[in-house]
Amino acid sequence: MFGNDADFLLTLHRSHAAELRADAAADRLARSLPRPTSRGWLGRRRQAGRTSDARR
């Protein structure tokens, strides 16, 4: 498959560079998307508990 070590190293370098570019693109995409608000059932339950404590 590879004629010599230089071809192997060049192929290895190119594949690694492609992986790094893909990771960077995924990171950029993740930063560009809005983060979901934390509205889990546990968060609402804590919030409801705090409001009932404030009424007392």
Please state, in angstroms and rounded to a whole number, the distance separating the CA atoms of residues 46 and 35.
21
Label residue 51 by pLDDT band (50, 70, 90). Answer: low
> What is the token pair recorded at 50?
């705090």
Please state, in angstroms and rounded to a whole number, the distance separating the CA atoms of residues 10 and 2.
10
pLDDT digit string, tens, across residues 14-31: 999 999 999 999 999 999
Give me the pLDDT at residue 26, please. 95
Please state, in angstroms and rounded to a whole number, the distance separating the CA atoms of residues 14 and 2.
14
Look over the chain and give the mean of its residue pLDDT values, rounded to a whole number.
78
CA distances from 7 to 13, 14, 19 (A): 10, 11, 18
Percentage of the chain surpassing pLDDT 70? 61
